[in-house]
């Protein structure tokens, strides 16, 4: 029987025009203290030297599999990685981020110690010059199935990202239907994937390590940090699906509805400031926002989110001023 130490971890890395950061990312993976890994680099039709860099690393390290595909977005790249992955455990890293050398050793150790199926670590949110943008923490270290989707947004050190997590393969690869990323969504796709994990698995534990081991770089040329376009409306589509999953499982969805409303008000301000033509999908989202506004209550909502919502609802001019002042960074 394989010991936990011998189990294989598959690390899936979607790559797109990230040649400036790719060496740092791959080096952080090949130098992991946990050695039994496979690194799957999926180049998603890059126009720079990214695929060449991937191939060079694949030649030097037999644990690396470099694949080139036609551009289809981060979700399609990760899904291809999931089809190829052989590991007992599945991890994800974005190609412009990097990880601490002991991240996967500590994550798999947490799974072993807590008998959990998902392990989670804390995140460095930082700029390119390694300045920490903000920091979150929590002391609780084991979460039940129903706590997992709620705490992804209420406890910000856990977050909805897939990249600070390690998943037992059996949560994803199922008899009836494998769980995958929505190919039509490249913004907030991580959170929706985690909600699908929750919805399709009726029992699991997640364990948390309050140590920052994943470096999430804020100032980078990623989908999430590009200037505002209507593509960012995909966030609302993902949120609606997450809310439906919570309500289907009879869990409180108010915190997601509040987030939806706040994000919509920001979007409305930006569309007006940038003179972007409203599409039919925007009108549908506005209708959904108005419906949520009638149904939410603030019971159980954390203070930070509650205050933000009350400002947006009762003092919208303050929120608008904040958006205008930050416009050059959007």
28-63 pLDDT per residue, tens: 999 999 999 999 999 999 999 999 999 999 999 999
Integer Rg of the chain from CA: 20
Neighbours of 156 (CB within 10 A): 19
Per the listing, tokens 């010059």 go with 129
Residue 316 has a pLDDT of 82
Cα 194 to chain centroid distance, Å, stands at: 8
* Contact between 235 and 267 (Cβ < 8 Å): no
What is the arithmetic mean of pLDDT over 199-227? 80
Check if the beta carbon of residue 81 is closer than 8 Å to that of residue 193. Answer: no
Indicate the burial class of 286 (C-beta count within 10 angstroms; 0-12, 13-18, 19 or more). middle
Q: Report d(CA 289, CA 308) in Å as an integer.
A: 16
What average pLDDT does range 2-26 have in this prediction? Answer: 89
Q: Is the dihedral of CA 80, 27, 170, 167 positive or negative?
A: negative
Rounded Cα gap, residues 84 and 214, in angstroms: 24
Question: Looking at per-residue confidence, does 222 or 243 come out higher?
Answer: 243
pLDDT digits (tens, 9 = 90+) for 102-134: 999 999 999 999 999 999 999 988 877 766 656
Instruction: pLDDT band for 226, please (50, 70, 90 cuts).
Output: very low
What pLDDT sits at residue 228?
64
Q: What is the pLDDT of residues 240-270, one digit of tens each?
A: 999 999 999 999 899 899 999 999 988 888 8
- pLDDT tens by residue, 262-290: 999 888 888 887 777 777 888 899 999 99
The ranges assigned to domains in the chain are: 4-223, 227-329
> Residue 155 pLDDT > 50, yes or no?
yes
Enter the CATH code of domain 4-223: 3.90.550.10
Q: How many residues does the chain have?
A: 330
pLDDT value, residue 7: 96
3-state secondary structure the chain: CCCHHHCCEEEEEEECCCHHHHHHHHHHHHCCCCCCEEEEEEEECCCCCHHHHHHHHHHHCCCEEEEEECCCCHHHHHHHHHHHCCCCEEEECCCCCEECCCHHHHHHHHHHHHCCCEEEEEEEEECCCCCEEECCCCCCCEECCCHHHHHHHHCCCCCCCCCCEEEEHHHHCCCCCCCCCCCCCCCCHHHHHHHHHHHHCCCCCEEEEEEEEEEEECCCCCHHHCCCCHHHHHHHHHHHHHHHHHHHCCCCCHHHHHHHHHHHHHHHHHHHHCCCCCCHHHHHHHHHHHHHHHHCCCCCCCHHHHHHHHHHHHCHHHHHHHHHHCHHHC
């Amino acid at each position: 029987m394989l010991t936990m130490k011998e189990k294989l971890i598959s690390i899936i890395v979607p790559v797109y025009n990230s040649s400036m950061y790719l060496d740092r990312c791959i080096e952080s993976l090949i130098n992991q203290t946990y050695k039994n890994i496979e690194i799957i680099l999926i180049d998603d039709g890059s126009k720079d030297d990214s695929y060449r860099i991937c191939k060079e690393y694949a030649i030097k390290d037999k644990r690396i599999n470099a694949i080139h595909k036609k551009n289809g977005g981060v979700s399609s790249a990760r899904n291809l990685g999931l089809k190829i992955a052989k590991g007992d455990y599945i991890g994800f890293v974005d190609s412009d981020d990097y990880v601490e050398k002991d991240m996967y050793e500590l994550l798999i150790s947490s799974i072993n110690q807590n008998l959990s199926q998902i392990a989670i670590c804390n995140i460095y949110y930082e700029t390119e010059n390694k300045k920490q943008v903000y920091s979150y923490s929590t002391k609780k270290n084991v979460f039940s199935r129903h706590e997992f989707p709620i705490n992804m947004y209420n406890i910000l050190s856990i977050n909805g990202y897939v990249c600070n997590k390690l998943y037992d393969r059996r949560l994803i690869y199922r008899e009836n239907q494998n769980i995958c990323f929505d190919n039509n969504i490249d913004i907030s796709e991580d959170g929706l994937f985690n909600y699908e994990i929750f919805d399709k698995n009726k029992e699991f534990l997640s364990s948390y390590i309050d140590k920052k081991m994943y470096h999430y770089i804020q100032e980078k040329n990623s989908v999430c940090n590009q200037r505002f376009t209507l593509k960012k409306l995909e966030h609302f589509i993902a949120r609606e699906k997450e809310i439906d999953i919570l309500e289907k499982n009879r869990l409180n969805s108010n915190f997601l509805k509040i987030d939806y409303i706040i994000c919509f008000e920001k979007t409305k301000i930006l569309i007006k400031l940038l003179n972007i033509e409203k599409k039919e999908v925007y009108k549908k989202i506005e209708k959904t926002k108005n419906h949520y506004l009638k149904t939410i209550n603030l019971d159980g909502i954390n203070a930070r989110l509650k205050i933000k919502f009350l400002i947006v609802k009762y003092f919208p001019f303050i929120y608008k001023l904040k958006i205008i002042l930050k416009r050059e960074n959007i």
